[in-house]
Structure 1
Amino acid sequence: MADRRIWRKSPWDALLLTASVVQFIVTLWLATTWGSSSLLGRLGGLAAVAVMTAYNIIVVSHLFTHSPWFTSARLNALVSVLNSMNIGQSVQAYQLTHVRNHHRFNNDSKDETGTTRDVSSTYRDGKDGEHASLLRYAVGGGFQSLADRGREVAYVRRLWRVGTDEKLLYSLASRRQTRRERELRQIQADRAAHVLVLVLFAAISWQWLLLCYLPAFLLALTMVNVQNYYRHFGADPQERTADSVSYYGRLYNLVTFNDGYHQEHHLSPTSHWSELPTVYEQHRARLDAQPRIISPVPAMLGFLHRKRPLLHHRADIRPHPPKTDGNRQEETAT
């Protein structure tokens, strides 16, 4: 009974919380041992920070944004702060842009205005109905994200509050006044925590911050973009049961909490990670009724899927769905 009062969906989410705490502790340890580490140890530390950060964004914080772990809003707020320090950006802002934008427009192609409604769409910087190049989306997007995080650090002049110039976040924040205020305050707290942890890292070892953490953070952002790119590359953006790519390898889905069930996740974004195999069975008839992409490799290695079908080409010959506000994704607050 105690678990049910604490955990909103499942006590297995304790594993995700453990990963969050372990990442923070290991990162601090790597910073404190930088001065005495060998070149090989430093390179290993850089790789470790990059992998932990990418894993947190792709798996841990991603799952948290869709289904906060605790019944207590205060505990969820603390988790948001903790993982904002782990991923170098506000988890609450991530929740707004990912859950309420990406999962509303589902990696859409360009419409009659010449752009996409999903701000993270792989088509946004593409030409002639094609995805953007991997280099532009992954590496260029990584540098852009790094620049965006730098601007957020500079918001110290307004104590990291969300400013009126941040139109996207303002448009995605809840329409209910009380919840809206809470979400915007959470972004402020997340950003403040991120900046304070950067100050802590610099105090421990400014050399580690510049030579390890920042390059590792950029590498992590690039890895996340590669993951998102191949979660959607070649899929049909106009077909709800074929607009994403799934990978059903057992070991991968075990260590990533069913991250490979991405088409299923798009069909039911509010479902807990433990429910995604059931979502697959529930929609199996629809999923099997038409062509869709099932990758033989995890999304991070999607470039190895040489013979991937390009279902988006068939979408090019169909009329683009009209641009409407539609129904907003069910809101989940951290």
Structure 2
Amino acid sequence: MKTNAVVVERVTTDSKLFAHTRWDAIPVAATLLHCAYFFGMFYLFPRIPLWLMIILGLIYSVSISWNINGISHNFIHNPYFRSPVLNRLFSILESITIGFSQIFYECIHMQHHKGNADLPDETGETVDWISIYKHGHDGAAEHPFKYAFFSFFREDPKTVFKELKRKDHREAFWGVLELTLFVATFVILGVLNWRYICFILPFYYFGHSLSYLNGFYRHYGGNPDEPLAWGVSSYDKLYNWIWFYNGYHAEHHFRPKVHWTRMQAFRDQIAEQQRAAGVRVIEPPHALGFLDPNVPPRTPPSSVLPGANLSRRAIRAHLLTRKLSPGSSDFET
């Protein structure tokens, strides 16, 4: 079966509220609880011991990555509601809850799907703004922890705004409004209790760093030249139940519109093709990808190929021809 001949089942429902399935009530309810948790921390801050607040802060950090990579991500590809108004309100709610514009995130994420963690060209640029190879050296991926903790500061709202404005002035307006509402929320909380903002900001940053760490291992070891193997998957059951099947990332990049409730069935449908394409699968959840027993080494091509001083173009051409063999933890040339 050819990859472009795969038929994807689209979920449908007779619900007048939800666009795809009533199961989307779960991520919607989870977002409401997440938002309540965020404001609940502000309420509890002067009322409970610091050690307990630190525990709540760490949970808040993990919850940011959980929301971005599960709820917010799935909402980009399959908006939950039939009503455009409800989708707009949910987008605003997400922006305040995760601390970044949902519309800006959608723009960055769709650019990610255009490049699919592509390799730098001869000028060092990538189509994917957040490619794990963009700031690497000699064609190798960047160090995972450098990628995780530096990517937050590399975000460029101006570039995102220009792209949004080029596509749709209206969406650019709503994106800026979401950013304004998120910043205004933090400012108001800071005015009410400046100590709380000083407390929460490090956990906020750590949460977004965890999200980038999660994103790194969703592509590290993937094959930029093979659509079936663009992403790296993790099939840990608990992880996928809690993270709304975020683990099926190779499947997602192959067919981004597959609904989260159909990921497992879709994987069963293309399993043979995936094995033939050498799709990489890791044992732990993506955010713990560094614990996988078969993590590929970050070896620059110049150290494994005959001859030195390879041009960036030659490195890129070489990497694009490398294949990840089924069941292997390393690349084969």
Considering the TM-score relative to the shorter chain, is it more than 0.5? yes
Secondary structure of the 1:36 match is: coil
Alpha-carbon offset, residue 252 of structure 1: 1.4
Which residue of structure 2 lines up, in the alignment, with residue 71 of structure 1? 82
Aligned length: 297
Alpha-carbon offset, residue 247 of structure 1: 0.7
Which residue of structure 2 lines up, in the alignment, with residue 138 of structure 1? 148
Which residue of structure 1 lines up, in the alignment, with residue 58 of structure 2? 47
Assess, with a 3 A threshold, how the Cα gap between structure 1 residues 122 and 267 changes in structure 2: closer, same or farther.
Answer: same
Assess, with a 3 A threshold, how the Cα gap between structure 1 residues 172 and 276 changes in structure 2: closer, same or farther.
Answer: farther
1:170 aligns with 2:162: yes
1:233 aligns with 2:220: yes
- Tell me how far apart the structure 1 counterparts of residues 316 and 73 of structure 2 sit (CA, whole Å): 33
Alpha-carbon offset, residue 308 of structure 1: 2.6
Which residue of the other structure, out of 112, 119, 124, is the alignment partner of 2:134?
Answer: 124
Assess, with a 3 A threshold, how the Cα gap between structure 1 residues 142 and 225 changes in structure 2: closer, same or farther.
Answer: same
* Deviations 1:109-161 (CA, angstroms, capped at 9, x unpaired): 1122222111100000001110011232111113444xx6xxx7xxxxxxxxx
Greater relative contact order (Cα 8 A, min sep 6): structure 1 or 2? 1
Alignment of 1:271-310 (within 5 A): 271-309=258-296
1:250 aligns with 2:237: yes
- Tell me how far apart the structure 1 counterparts of residues 166 and 236 of structure 2 sit (CA, whole Å): 37
- Tell me how far apart the structure 2 counterparts of residues 117 and 19 of structure 1 sit (CA, whole Å): 33
Alignment of 1:1-334 (within 5 A): 4-99=15-110, 101-145=111-155, 166-172=158-164, 175=167, 180-211=168-199, 213-309=200-296, 318=317
- Tell me how far apart the structure 2 counterparts of residues 170 and 116 of structure 1 sit (CA, whole Å): 17
Alpha-carbon offset, residue 36 of structure 1: 2.0
Alpha-carbon offset, residue 310 of structure 1: 6.0
- Tell me how far apart the structure 2 counterparts of residues 218 and 285 of structure 1 sit (CA, whole Å): 40
Alpha-carbon offset, residue 320 of structure 1: 7.5
Q: Identity, % of aligned pairs?
A: 29
Letter in 1 for 2:182: H
* Deviations 1:177-228 (CA, angstroms, capped at 9, x unpaired): xxx13311220221122122113322442211111x2111110011011101
TM-score (norm 2): 0.82
Which residue of structure 1 lines up, in the alignment, with residue 311 of structure 2? none
* Equivalent pair of 1:28/1:201 in contact (CA under 8 Å): no
Secondary structure of the 2:257 match is: coil
Secondary structure of the 2:234 match is: coil
- Tell me how far apart the structure 2 counterparts of residues 217 and 3 of structure 1 sit (CA, whole Å): 39
- Tell me how far apart the structure 1 counterparts of residues 277 and 298 of structure 2 sit (CA, whole Å): 11
Letter in 2 for 1:238: D
- Tell me how far apart the structure 2 counterparts of residues 136 and 53 of structure 1 sit (CA, whole Å): 19
- Tell me how far apart the structure 1 counterparts of residues 296 and 75 of structure 2 sit (CA, whole Å): 32
* Equivalent pair of 1:293/1:308 in contact (CA under 8 Å): no
* Equivalent pair of 1:241/1:287 in contact (CA under 8 Å): yes
Give the gaps of 5 or more residues in structure 1.
153-165, 322-334
Letter in 1 for 2:85: R
RMSD: 2.4
Give the gaps of 5 or more residues in structure 2.
1-11, 306-313, 321-333
- Tell me how far apart the structure 1 counterparts of residues 297 and 277 of structure 2 sit (CA, whole Å): 14
Assess, with a 3 A threshold, how the Cα gap between structure 1 residues 2 and 60 changes in structure 2: closer, same or farther.
Answer: closer
- Tell me how far apart the structure 1 counterparts of residues 105 and 238 of structure 2 sit (CA, whole Å): 27
Alpha-carbon offset, residue 256 of structure 1: 1.3
Alpha-carbon offset, residue 105 of structure 1: 0.9
Letter in 2 for 1:270: K
* Equivalent pair of 2:139/2:316 in contact (CA under 8 Å): no
- Tell me how far apart the structure 1 counterparts of residues 154 and 115 of structure 2 sit (CA, whole Å): 21
- Tell me how far apart the structure 2 counterparts of residues 268 and 206 of structure 1 sit (CA, whole Å): 45
Alpha-carbon offset, residue 319 of structure 1: 5.8
- Tell me how far apart the structure 1 counterparts of residues 29 and 160 of structure 2 sit (CA, whole Å): 32
TM-score (norm 1): 0.82
- Tell me how far apart the structure 1 counterparts of residues 212 and 280 of structure 2 sit (CA, whole Å): 19
